[in-house]
Amino acid sequence: MTTPLRAGRLSALRMRPLAACLAATIATAAPGDSTAQLASVNQAASIVVVQNCNDSGPGSLRAAYANAVDNATIDLTQLVCSRITLGSALVDPIAAANVTLLGPGKDLLAIDGDALYQVIVHRGNGGLHVDHLTIVNGHHTGARGGCIYSAGGVEATGTVVSSCVLDTTEYTARGGAIYAKDAVSLFDSTISDNSAKAVQDMGSLGGGIYSSEIVVLRSTISGSSAARGGGIFAAGLVYIQDSTLSGNHATYYGGALYAHAGAFHTIKNSTISGNKADFVGGAIYAGSANIYNCTIAYNTTASRLTSGGGLRLTGPSILQSSIIAKNTSGSGLVEDDVFAYDVVTASNNLIMASDGPVTGGSISVDPKLGPLQDNGGPTRTHALLPDSPAIGRGNNVFRLGNDQRGAPFDRVDGGSADIGAFEFGDTVFRDGVEPPA
């Protein structure tokens, strides 16, 4: 397996993290292409090859990381072991602003905190880049980062961060899996089964991720818990595309996502399903959210009042060609899909129940969805059943090339796009097998 070295490309995150990520992501995509890639930054890099799977000593990961220089790439691709179990957290020099850990593949190598330690502490103010690794079993009793802490940004590509616990005696706990002072960017990655807990009842923020800003592409965030933002707590802008947020839990607000009220967040071609908030915002609690071609379903709040089992929006927002249905309050008793305080401009949506100024056309019927499962592509989706009323009634204002699953699943299969993240079509011959004559 060969993986391009991209050391130093996070240095641009120091000033405007999300702007840098989005500019690079969008600029390299052709119009309508939903599989954008981050542009490289050409900088001189130092490459250090890890030679053994020991916790410490010459040739170990710990020795390489402790002596990293700025723009260093620590190469773990030649290791034959499947796990490095740590006896304490890995800590780098403050002067190493940008560091890359390059692994052989998330299924081939795990860095394990042994359920006792933080896994990676990045003290530089640039970025930590984690490529094709699994980071697992972190445990931290401080205030930030159960597995990964960064004083700058974090970028994960082809990486799993899982089973991390942030359990502190302090008043706030931020980032059960990942804490970053600047941006977190996920590409083809999974953040799963993490938790954050603090002494203060509402003090845990981001069971999966806490960051100032976040970009999520072709990734999954699932099974994580905190008081606010079971999956993600974002203090700034959010951009999510071609991704799934599922099975996260907030004991207060935002089962999947709690997003800062003073920003316009964007979510496209994504599925948010099966999340829960005990109070409000079963899927999302946010200020202004612009949501396109998404499926937001089967989320819930425990509150007996309508409280946004799906969306709780406090600012002006946009909903386009999205299914927002089967979300409930009262632990499943009341259909409660959108609760809005400000105007929500909408068109070509399927919304079963809304409370607030939601303008524009939508249909309010059962979307007839299949279960959340592998329907092709890197993330799980809800397929439209053959008799779904969402088929052929959506739009594609962003000219997306593919639905959430990516190629070969076209975003428009027929005269018009379907509503939601999944495009229904005749998939029998997608693999190049010709129909019989």
Which range has the worst mean pLDDT, 16-20, 287-291, 313-317, 348-352? 16-20
Query: 206-221 burial, b if ≥16 CB within 10 A, otherwise e?
Result: bbbbbbbbbbbbbbbb
Strands 257-259 and 284-286: parallel
Mean pLDDT of the chain: 89
Residue 3 pLDDT exceeds 60:
no
Residue-wise DSSP of 142-165: SSB-SSEEESSEEEEES-EEES-E
Question: Which letter does DSSP use for residue 280 in this model?
Answer: B
Whole-number pLDDT of residue 30? 35
124-139 pLDDT, tens digit each: 999 999 999 999 999 9
Whole-number pLDDT of residue 22? 52
d(CA 248, CA 228): 11
47-76 pLDDT, tens digit each: 999 999 999 999 999 999 999 999 999 999
Q: What would the two tokens of residue 282 be?
A: 């079963």
pTM: 0.90
Residue spans per domain, the chain:
44-298
Which amino acid appears at position 378 of this protein? P
Helix/strand/coil for 22: helix
Element housing 314 (H / E): none
